[in-house]
């Protein structure tokens, strides 16, 4: 097998593993935040919890699109080392029948997923900070 093809395939495998882990973690955090949202009273804590939930929902949605794009990208890998551009922008139709990779490059989806995940973690940390302060009576 061509070394460039092997590297591209390995990169897509790692992307898939990372994405599946983010789906798992975000789904768990969505459950925790949804449960914690029921017992909130402070407006700042409610805002932080809702923002965390929205960010983790966005993470899951983008992750589903990424996981759906990987089989199509694997089928279209080429041995030429210049085909790495396939990962950064293509007009291929994904398994959902949409040409989303032609409009939004794969790297943008990956970046959006990671930003949404880390923003969700930041909002969750803010929520915990505010909820602990609220329980102390501050």
What string of DSSP letters covers the chain? --HHHHHHHHHHHHHHHHHHHHHHHHHHHHHHHHHHHTT---HHHHHHHHHHHHHHHHHHHHHHHHHHHHHHHHHT--SSGGGGGGGT------TTS--HHHHS-HHHHHHHHHHHHHHHHHHHHHHHHHHHHHHHT-
Residue at 68 is within a domain: yes
Two tokens at 130? Answer: 């505010």
Q: Per-residue pLDDT tens for 59-77?
A: 999 999 888 888 877 777 7
Residue at 73 is within a domain: yes
Residue at 35 is within a domain: yes
Nearest-angstrom CA–CA distance, 102 and 54:
26
Specify whether the CB–CB gap between 71 and 52 falls below 8 A: no
Percent residues over pLDDT 70 in the chain: 75
Residue at 50 is within a domain: no
Residue at 48 is within a domain: no
Residue at 36 is within a domain: yes
Nearest-angstrom CA–CA distance, 138 and 135:
8
Mean pLDDT, the chain, rounded, equals 79
Q: Per-residue pLDDT tens for 88-124?
A: 445 555 544 555 566 677 788 889 999 999 999 999 9
Residue at 51 is within a domain: no
Question: What range does the domain containing 73 cover?
Answer: 3-43+57-136
Rounded to 5 degrees, φ, ψ at 3 are: -60, -40
Residue at 49 is within a domain: no
The number of domains in the chain is 1
State yes or no: pLDDT of 84 exceeds 50.
Answer: no
Q: Given the structure tokens 């139709």, which residue do they identify? A: 93
């Amino acid at each position: 097998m061509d070394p460039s093809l092997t590297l591209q395939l390995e990169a897509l495998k790692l992307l898939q593993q990372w994405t599946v882990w983010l789906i798992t973690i975000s789904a768990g955090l969505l459950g925790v935040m949804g449960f914690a949202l029921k017992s909130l009273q402070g407006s700042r804590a409610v805002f932080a919890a809702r923002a965390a939930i929205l960010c983790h929902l966005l993470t899951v949605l983008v992750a589903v699109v990424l996981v759906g794009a990987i089989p199509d990208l694997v089928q279209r890998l080429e041995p030429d080392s210049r085909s790495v551009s396939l990962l950064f922008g293509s007009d291929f139709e994904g398994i959902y029948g949409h040409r989303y990779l032609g409009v939004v490059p794969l790297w943008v989806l990956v970046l959006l997923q990671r930003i949404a995940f880390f923003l969700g973690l930041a909002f969750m940390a803010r929520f915990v900070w505010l909820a602990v302060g609220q329980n102390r009576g501050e």
